[in-house]
Chains A and B, each alone.
Chain A
Amino acid sequence: QKEVEQNSGPLSVPEGAIASLNCTYSDRGSQSFFWYRQYSGKSPELIMFIYSNGDKEDGRFTAQLNKASQYVSLLIRDSQPSDSATYLCAVTDKLIFGTGTRLQVFP
């Protein structure tokens, strides 16, 4: 079992819809969780981080953490074509990344 798992996608959503990206992790002791966005041919950039159970909102982005179920998710509201990228989940106290989910937002 991989330590951090993501569905590779692509996840295709229409413009204006909510995109839901999911990530599961195996180490129950993991403490910090980050979401990075990576455009094709570019380096990853941090968009959200979460440490505590529950939801954390930042603009159109919401990160959700459920430590009991060992999953973390990222919701993107009002998806735009410019959101089309690969989204990497990272369990950063272990310095481990998932393989990423490719999101495609079509007009």
Chain B
Amino acid sequence: NAGVTQTPKFQVLKTGQSMTLQCAQDMNHNSMYWYRQDPGMGLRLIYYSASEGTTDKGEVPNGYNVSRLNKREFSLRLESAAPSQTSVYFCASSDGTASNEKLFFGSGTQLSVL
């Protein structure tokens, strides 16, 4: 089992460029999440998907879109990247029961927007 796989691991973009971060899990989890982590800010939830076909906004959704392509895959898209989106992005998944939200994280994507 690979767990949660994120690609790419590193990316440099110019302001205004677009890109999609890919995430896939092989644990048959229902819920998937995208977080960003900035120094001194901790992990902040961008979007989450409680089940296939559903997505919901988290704390910091502006500037991002997501797609829950199927149960395994949850992608994060930046349509027009801004320097404020420079961050480390983590995808996570969980079994999804209300009192059992143990998150399994991918290895992260370090994104720099110049």
Contact = CB atoms under 8 A, between A and B. Distances in A.
Contact of B101 (A88, A95, A99): A95
Contacts of B35: 97
Interface stretch (B66-74, B76-84, B102-110): B102-110
A46 B59 CA distance: 22
Interface of B: 33, 35, 40-45, 48, 58-59, 90, 98-108
Contacts of B43: 44, 88, 97
B103 A32 contact: no
Contacts of B107: 42-43
User: Secondary structure at chain A's binding surface: helix, strand, loop or mixed?
Assistant: loop
A49 interface: yes
Nearest to A43: B105
A55 interface: no
